[in-house]
Amino acid sequence: MKISRRGLLKFTGFSIVAMTALPRMAFAARNSLRGLRTGVQPGNKSRLVIETANRPSYSLSYPENQLVVTLSNTGANNSIQPKLAADALVKSVVQTQVGDKLQIIANLKKPIAEIQKSSILLLEPNGDNDYRLVLDFVAGTTPKSYTTTSATQTTAITAARKYIIVIDAGHGGKDPGCIGRGGTREKDIVLSVARKLKNKLDSNGFKTYLTRDSDKYLRLAERANIAEKRKADLFISLHANANPSRKMKGFSIYTLSEKASDEEARKLAEAENAADKIGVEGFTEFEENIRIALSSLQQHAVAEMSEEYANGCAKSFKRASIEQQPGPDVRHAPFAVLRSTVPGALLEIGHLSNTAEEKLLKTDKHQNKIVDAIVRSVKNYNFEV
């Protein structure tokens, strides 16, 4: 069996291997439909699986009591009989050819909630299966703005959709984070950068929320919970670093994994997670809920998207000539604040323990440079899988 890179990731659980974004097909042969089926998943979730010969490129829309998956450059295949699970929210599935696009229309028993990106998975071929686009959904209310019946309208409205970014300024209140030799506190620097980032992302058409907009203490679980509640598409946690070696400098970017990628990453996660020990409550209950709520497929999807974002973000920082801490572009560690269903990364924007960098991090000029690099990384991130 040929194991693809993406496939390999599935076997290793949360990615401990830095993954570069897969090249997107610039020119693709016409795709064809190979299978359609529905199923029921734990937590009253219904699942629609669309199997195709090639990697599908798709968009979703939610006309009344329907879920429409539009596959570009794909031909209908009328020999395919959908296999329908009795208890799923889907009554029937039909194919409609619209020009060179194939629409898979799932007629629903009830309206469904808009499908979160973390509930969409694209699986590589394996064994008897071709490419599979796996969509999990629950009954609910589709936001009015996504409820359209015309394909052209849908495109226009989807394009206008604002992606939601939650920006987390680390530490705060009784937890200052690390403190530079000159007295600069991590909590102040990251709040200043977070506010600038919010303004700039807002003016670029994103919808953003700050986990804190003042000098207050928030537990890590509360921060992750804000991302969940806001149904964020991306979570960015901002921190500044300290190292026993005062020579150490530069930014570093982290994603969540159960195992740290190196000893330094492990220590850093320990230090950042220790913020919670200042508080009364631990993280375990929320963490446990998340673990239960996430199917392993979703965990993989969230991990993959986080990797993709983090890699793009590292590139963006380097392009802006922001000094990078020696080491890999993306490191991994079990950061409590990243444990959620929202893809995201933790950005250590520089070292306060380095005197020169401490001075630099205090300046608006350097903060704006960092903000511009993050904004570019968000704009380049592919929110639609």
Window of 89-97, 235-243, 248-256, 287-295 that interacts with Zn ion by CB under 5 A: 235-243
Q: Which is nearer to Zn ion, 116 or 273 (CB)?
A: 273
Q: What type of residue is 248?
A: M
Q: Order of strands across the sheet with 330-333? A: 207-210, 164-169, 234-241, 344-351, 252-256, 330-333
Residue among 177, 312, 334, 343 that touches Zn ion (CB under 5 A): 177
Nearest to 306 by CA among 235, 202, 363, 238: 235
Residue 187 binds to Zn ion (criterion: CB under 5 A)? no
C-alpha to C-alpha distance for 119 and 139, rounded to whole angstroms: 14
Window of 154-162, 172-180, 244-252, 299-307 that interacts with Zn ion by CB under 5 A: 172-180
Q: Are the CB atoms for 240 and 178 separated by under 8 Å? A: yes
Q: Which is nearer to Zn ion, 239 or 339 (CB)?
A: 239
Per-residue CA distances from 128 to 35, 132, 298 (Å): 12, 11, 22
Residue 239 binds to Zn ion (criterion: CB under 5 A)? yes
> Site map for Zn ion, 251-290, x if CB under 5 A?
---------------------x------------------
Window of 196-204, 238-246, 254-262, 320-328 that interacts with Zn ion by CB under 5 A: 238-246
Q: Which is nearer to Zn ion, 220 or 234 (CB)?
A: 220
Report how many helices (DSSP H) and strands (DSSP E) the chain contains, helices first.
Answer: 9, 15
Neighbouring C-beta atoms of residue 207, cutoff 10 Å: 15
Q: Which is nearer to Zn ion, 272 or 358 (CB)?
A: 272
CB-based closest residue to Zn ion: 239
Window of 9-17, 48-56, 109-117, 237-245 that interacts with Zn ion by CB under 5 A: 237-245
Per DSSP, what are the bridge partners of residue 38? 48
Q: Residues 6 or more apart from 209 whose CB is under 8 A from it? A: 164, 165, 166, 167, 226, 230, 232
Q: Report, in Å, the least distance between residue 187 CB and Zn ion.
A: 8
Residue among 56, 82, 170, 350 that touches Zn ion (CB under 5 A): 170
Which residues make up the interface to Zn ion (CB under 5 A)?
170, 177, 239, 272
